[in-house]
Amino acid sequence: VNKLLGFFLVGVTLSTLVSLYVLYGMELPGIGALPRVFSLAGSVYILMGLEVIAVLVSLFQLLNTQSLKDKVLYTEVLVINALYLIAILNGAALVVLATGLLLLLLYVHKEIPTNSKTLFIGILIVLGLLGFVHHYPMTRDALGLNQMNAQPRLSLRESWVITAETLRDRPITGSGVGAFVNMFSLYRPASLNATENWQARFESPYSDVLLWVGSTGLVGLLAYLIFIGFSVYTVKSLERENKTSKMLTIVVLASLLVLIVLGNNPLIYVLLFIALGISIHKGNRAPLSINSVPVLSIFAIAAIAIFGYVLFKAYGVYAGQYFFRESLTRDNLGERFELQAKAIGA
pLDDT at 83 over 80: yes
What's the chain's average pLDDT?
A: 79
Confirm if 22 and 36 have CB atoms less than 8 A apart.
Answer: yes
Confirm if 71 and 79 have CB atoms less than 8 A apart.
Answer: no
Encode pLDDT of 16-68 as tens digits. Answer: 888 888 887 777 777 777 777 778 777 788 888 888 888 888 888 887 777 88
Beta bridge partners of 32: 28
Global confidence as pTM: 0.68
Beta bridge partners of 28: 32
pLDDT at 287 over 50: no
Confirm if 58 and 74 have CB atoms less than 8 A apart.
Answer: yes
Give the residue-averaged pLDDT of 279-292.
62
Q: Residue 194 class from Cβ within 10 Å (0-12 exposed, 13-18 middle, 19+ buried)? A: exposed
State the Cα angle at 41 between 227 and 177, rounded to 5°: 40
Encode pLDDT of 146-156 as tens digits. Answer: 666 666 777 88
